[in-house]
Amino acid sequence: VRIFDIKDADYSLYTGKDITSVIQMFFWATRNIFHTIRNKKEIFRNDRNGIVLVHGDTFSTLLGAIMGKIAGLKVAHIESGLRSFNLLHPFPEELTRILTFRLSDYMFCPDDRAVANLEKYDGKKINTEYNTLLDALHIALPVIRHISDVAIPDRPFGVVTLHRFENIRNHTAMQRIIKLVEEISKRKHLVFILHKPTEIKLRKFGFYPLLENNPNIELRERYDYFRFIKLIIEAEFIVSDGGSNQEECYYLGKPVILLRKATERNEGLGRNCVLSNYDSTVVNDFVANIDKYTFEALQLTHSPSGIIVEHCARFA
């Protein structure tokens, strides 16, 4: 919010530390639901004709949709219609999306495929053609040119960013991705960006020292959005399990290998993006042929966010 120069929230439901466990998430969600029931007039300013916008596939997405329904308001889901059609990959994101679809009155879909995935759900489907992330990138790019406080390695490097529950939920899952990261580090220098839940699990399962002592891996704390994109642009390739990273890399024409079994997004697959299925042969082939996964960045032809604003204006 700060770096995009957006005004502060009129009402904040939570301002504490990062929520890094399932138990914390459960108590946070339960508390917010009861808080909404008791204070919906204050939270939503007694608005009876407004609309609640929720985005993506996190638990807060579903919680926002539930809160909107409790308040008797319309709900609009941004980035709607994305499906992997596998409840366990990603989990719980795939389940969160399905439940959010059922609560949504308006569904802003990033492409035709997403629209088709919503055929059996009620609600108005609007195709924004791209994701709002494309707008964020085009806001960030002019700023990034003036950023000089991100340490860029003096040799070709890749950026690693991993955080999904399916990859960090237990020792076995985390060991699988760490082995692949170590395999890549034998051939390429890596900058490993630490999401807080990932760092906690790396320490808990004993993998943190392994990475810390690897001379070809740098461990770094998370950057703000502009500085992270600066690092992505300077990198040779990305190793990720994130859907947003998959889209960012597609828009930027940057090679990305996904450490996942399935992805709900179609952007870049077969072009700059490779779905690894945790197969070391696939990962090694990607690293050996990075150049063939590079292309020119996409140019913004229209604003997905503008389409959403246009449809929501009547609720203002």
Residues marked active site are found at 163
Let me know: does 43 contact 52? Beta carbons within 8 Å.
no
On whether the CB atoms of residues 243 and 264 are closer than 8 A, the answer is: yes
If you search the block for the tokens 């959005």, which residue do you land on? 225
Taking the chain, what is the end-to-end CA distance rounded to the nearest angstrom? Answer: 21
Strands of the sheet containing 106-109, edge to edge, are 51-55, 74-78, 106-109, 124-127
3-state secondary structure string across 50-108: CEEEEECCCHHHHHHHHHHHHCCCEEEEECCCCCCCCCCCCCCHHHHHHHHHHHCCEEE
**Angstrom distance (rounded) from CA 198 to CA 213:** 17
Closest CA to 133 of 265, 235, 296: 265
- Mapped onto helix, strand or coil, the DSSP state of residue 5 is coil
**DSSP sequence for 138-167:** HHHHHHHTT---SPPPSS-EEEEE---HHH
Three-state DSSP state, 273: strand
